[in-house]
Amino acid sequence: MRIGKIIDARDFPEARKPAYQLKIDFGSEIGLKNSSAQLTKRYVQEELLGRKIVAVVNFAPKQIANFISEVLVLGVPDGEGGIILLATESEAPLGSRVY
Q: Which domains does the chain have, with CATH numbers?
A: 2-85 (2.40.50.140)
| Low-confidence spans in the chain with pLDDT less than 50 | none
Confidence (pLDDT) at 19: 96
Each residue's pLDDT tens digit, 13-34:
999 999 999 999 999 999 999 9
Asked whether the beta carbons of 4 and 95 are under 8 A apart, the reply is yes
Q: What is the C-alpha separation between 82 and 92, in angstroms, rounded? A: 26
Confidence (pLDDT) at 49: 97
Q: What is the C-alpha separation between 94 and 99, in angstroms, rounded? A: 15
Asked whether the beta carbons of 98 and 6 are under 8 A apart, the reply is no
Q: What is the C-alpha separation between 66 and 54, in angstroms, rounded? A: 24
Confidence (pLDDT) at 97: 95
- Strand-pair partners of 77: 83
